[in-house]
Every structure is written in C-alpha cells, then in structure tokens.
Amino acid sequence: MLVRSLFVAFSSCLLATTSIFGQAAVSSSTNPQELVPPEVSPAPPQTEAPAPRIPALDQLDQAFKQSSLGKAADEARLHAQWRELSNRTINDADLVAAKARAERSKTDLEKRQRMRVYYARFYDRMRARADSEELKKYIDGRKAQHLGLLAQNRVRPSPAPAATATPTKRKVRAPEPALPQ
C-alpha cells in the first residue's frame, strides 16, 4: 500500500508540474505584450542616386510593337501593312495607265515586258512610301515574286548569254533515196 500511495503522490506531482509548465507556455505565446520586439538594424545612409529613367509612352509602344509573336504572326502583320500600302498606291494615275497599256498589248511577250515595267514602278513607289526596313524587305520579296512569274522560261526560254553561247555546226544528212514507183 505504501508503494501505491507513493505512486499516486508522484503521479499527482508530475501532473501538477506538467500543467503548470503547459499554462506558462500557452500564456507566453498568446500574450503579445510579453513578446520581445525584433531587433531592427538601422537603415544605411541614403546617397542621393539619380532616379531611374522612366521611358515615355511612345517608347514603350515601340518596344512592344517590335517584339516578335512568331513567324506566322509577323508574316500576317507584314502582309496587312503591304496590303494597306498597295491600296494607297495602286490608284496612282501613271500606274493605272501603265497597267492599261500592258493589257492592250498584242502579243504575250510584249505584255510581259510592259507588266515588268508596271511592277517595277508599282513596287518602287511602295518601297519609297514604306515606313520600316522590315516592310521594305517584304516589298522587295513580293516584287521578285511578281517579276519571277513573268519569266515563263518553260513557255519561251530566255536567250542564253552571249559569253556562254557557242556556235554549233549543223549536221547535214544525205538525202534519202527515192522510193520505186
């Protein structure tokens, strides 16, 4: 029985000690007045550095316009700019007259030559009105494409350059004998 009473006394002391320490821990963590404020180091002295330069709105617009969205998007944007410039240029009086003169041509060769003159004038004028170097390159590509369509080397080959042309001798065949009658 003595052991039992000692065990009960020891457990009650242990229980009381645990509850006291538990209350102390809870009360110190929930009471904000007892918290120690963190140490803050003083801010370094501020030297008067120049303020960062903020770009103007039009500079920001240019920066976003220049960013590439991909090859297909750039191609579509350039084509739209080319189409707008083409619509402004195509109704010039001398270009309309040059195209009408090409349409009135009597032969295919003459028409192709006059269309070359028309496309050269048309694209040169568009290139002069273009704003960006990128659009000028696109216009040059379209000009080369249109002029390339006029070549028609399969229908009528272009003459060989004089430097590479070598005279060839014709082979003369002997006449065939006459058939008996």
Mean confidence (pLDDT) of the chain: 76
Structure tokens belonging to residue 6: 């000692």
62, 70, 64, 121: which is closest to 78 by C-alpha?
Answer: 70
Band (179; pLDDT cuts 50, 70, 90): confident
Amino acid letter, 80:
A
pLDDT tens column, 36-56:
666 777 766 666 667 778 878
Measured CA distances, 16 to 5, 21, 30 (Å): 16, 9, 21
Contact in structure between 130 and 85 (CB atoms under 8 Å): yes
User: Does residue 112 contact residue 121 with C-beta atoms inside 8 Å?
Assistant: no
Q: What is the pTM of this model?
A: 0.48
Residue 127 near residue 139 (C-beta atoms within 8 A): yes
Q: What pLDDT score was predicted for residue 19?
A: 60
> In the numeric block, which tokens belong to residue 39?
């140490």
**What average pLDDT score do residues 63-89 get?**
83
Mean pLDDT across the stretch 94-110?
92
The confidence score (pLDDT) of residue 109 equals 87
- Mean pLDDT confidence for 21-36: 56
